[in-house]
Homo-oligomer: A and B are copies of this chain.
Amino acid sequence: MSNTSPRRVRGSATPAAGVVTLEMVAQAAGVSPSTVSRILNGTARVSQVKQQAVDAAIQSLGFRPNPVARGLAGGRTLSIGVLTQTISSPFYGEALHGIEDRLDEAGYIPIFVSGHWQEAEERKALDALMARRVDGLIVLAGRLSNRALQAGAGNVPMVVVGRQMQGPRVHGLCFDNRAGAAMATQHLIDCGHARIAYIGGEPDHADAHERLAGYREALDRAGLPFDPALVTPGDYTEAGGLLAVNRLLDARLPFTAIFAANDQTAIGAALGLYRRNVRVPDDVSLVGFDDLAPARFAIPPLTTVRQPVYEMGFQAAAAMMALLRGETAQVSLPSLQLVPRESVRRLQR
């Protein structure tokens, strides 16, 4: 029999003082390490006596399993990679919050990395995540193609927010942007507006196209003409909205309302209107999209379409947990809702 006592001759990492290992728990409880492991993971049944002995040892020693070692041995790191675009974005920030809360419930931890809407960065971020051996991947929008994502993710399960994807270990989750935009436009039409301008989002974001489609759909349904001159691009930022509204005003076309592709755009537009002495809603009505905090406190408070973003993050994480259990994710997103406030005026006829 060779020597099996835990000699420490040479080693690498100096064990941090006060670190309690599973082996120490086993010794204290008078059982083998495997038994402790089994109890920790619920891998097999163990007798009541040992169960209690181990529990007691864990308590008294204050043992906490080392996730790093677990990751190496078990192949699970209990961490989920989250590829987001800008960690400081007011929109995605809420989603991250939801993800964090749901993962926490399950003992997982999110690892956030930003792609900044740039393919190269996204690819790099994805690599970093995979190198960290995350157990799953949640992707928030982005520019990477579905193929690139699939390839980059290897064989870990993936939840993608903002695009349609289905597969055995993949789940897509999105809001119905088209319906939301139609709802916003319809609201303006219901208030008597017929000349409605549209300030779009980033031209190469899918949701920007869907919102434009929703706008046209509502116009069509009401039998109103679609005037391309009333449509101008934005970039989902306040500055973009400001610029866009200036173009609209400079064109000297008549319009009584503006539907902006998101709240930030609408808020920028509102400032642009203010600068030109066009009053909201007296002269021009304004509707946004998202319902972030600034919309609620804008002057006047902004009518918008509410996207439950926190909930979206929460559900994305829930879907991931399902995928990890080998189930097919079956989560549903709450639908979008119009939030009427004070930036829209009912036209007299």
- Measured CB to CB, the residues of A under 8 A from B are 12-14, 16-18, 64-69, 71-75, 77, 86-90, 93-94, 96-97, 100, 109-114, 127-128, 131-133, 154-155, 238, 242, 267-268, 270-271, 274, 293-294, 296-301
Contact = CB atoms under 8 A, between A and B. Distances in A.
A241 B94 CA distance: 22
A65 B127 CA distance: 12
A274 to B, nearest CB: 5
Contacts of A113: 100, 109
Tally of this chain's copies: 2
Given A13-B72, A16-B154, A112-B112, A238 B88 contact: no
Contacts of A128: 109
Given A17-B155, A67-B131, 7 more contacts: A64-B127, A87-B96, A88-B97, A89-B93, A90-B93, A238-B297, A268-B297
B72 A77 contact: no
A280 to B, nearest CB: 9
A99 to B, nearest CB: 9
Given A88-B97, A114-B100, A16 B75 contact: yes
B111 A111 contact: yes
Contacts of A94: 88
B132 A68 contact: yes
B296 A238 contact: yes
B72 A69 contact: yes
18 contacts: A12-B73, A12-B74, A13-B72, A13-B73, A17-B155, A68-B72, A88-B90, A88-B93, A88-B97, A100-B113, A100-B114, A242-B297, A267-B294, A268-B297, A270-B299, A271-B297, A271-B301, A299-B299
